[in-house]
Amino acid sequence: MIKKNILFIALFTVGLFSYGQNSDKAKALLDEVYNKVQSYDNIYIDFQSTLENTEANLKQETNGNVTLDGEKYLLNYFGATQLYDGKKVYTVVPENEEVTIEDVNEDNDNVSPSKMLTFYKTGHNYQWDILQNVGGRKIQYVKLIPIDSNTEIKSVLLGVDTQTKHIYKLIQTGNNGTKTTITVNSFKTNQPISSTLFTFDEKKYEDKGYYIIRN
């Protein structure tokens, strides 16, 4: 569950910037979002996530944050941490006292942000959706609908702040009725970051007695 949710958050932060053919307005807006994000040296996002399934009487809420610098990222979510240093992905789950170390490849559940940038380039239809006023901010929604009917995802709604061209909200609806909503609380760019932020200290966790899993 944690790994799947971490992947979803990673897709949220960088996989949003994709392209569709059926709506010129939607494509133009996502182009602006993509170009704006590409202009930053680094990005820090603080977000709130809600996972709901009414039929299963399930509702989970949590806060998280992610720092991205080029292909590298550091994600904190659901009490776990995932770090990509440009070569390997490190997932730390304190609850289980374990660390998973993985290479990045296309057959792996974990993919690098650079690959996520192209994740949605094909396989989706786009629709220009509603415009909402949120505290004086105009949020324009674009709806992504997978072309493949066998996918687990029914639709994804991306809410874009029309002034800043930053993503404000993502709402993913699954075919099983599960809805995942991510709302951006804070979006900061070009922040001073430590030179060791994306360096993983394996010995630190070995000394704590964590179980190290290498895949």
Mind giving me the DSSP string for 17-79? ----SS-HHHHHHHHHHHHHHHT-S-EEEEEEEEEEETTTTEEEEEEEEEEEETTEEEEEETT
* pLDDT tens-digit series, residues 57-75: 889 898 999 898 888 889 9
**Which of these ranges, 75-89, 114-128, 131-145, 201-215, has the smallest mean pLDDT?**
114-128
Quote the mean pLDDT of the chain.
81
**In this structure, what DSSP letter does residue 87 have?**
S
Question: Residue 31 falls within a domain, yes or no?
Answer: yes
Residue 5, domain member (yes or no) = no
The answer to whether residue 100 is domain-embedded is: yes
Q: Is residue 13 one of the residues assigned to a domain?
A: no
Look at residue 3 and tell me if it is in a domain: no
Classify residue 39: in a domain, yes or no: yes
Res. 151 pLDDT band, cuts 50 70 90: confident
Any idea what the CATH number is for the domain that residue 102 is in? 2.50.20.10
Q: What pLDDT digit, counting tens, does each position of 180-191 carry? A: 898 999 999 999
120/14 Cα distance (integer angstroms): 10
- Tokens at residue 171, please? 């709402």
3-state DSSP call for residue 164? coil
What pLDDT, in 10s, does the model give residues 100-110? Answer: 999 876 544 44
User: Which structure tokens are listed for 7?
Assistant: 């992947």
Domain assignment present for residue 11? The answer is no
Across the range 190-202, mean pLDDT stands at 95
| 8 found inside a domain | no
Domain total for the chain? 1
Domain range spanning residue 58?
Answer: 18-214
CA distance readout (Å), 194 to 40, 42, 202: 17, 12, 18
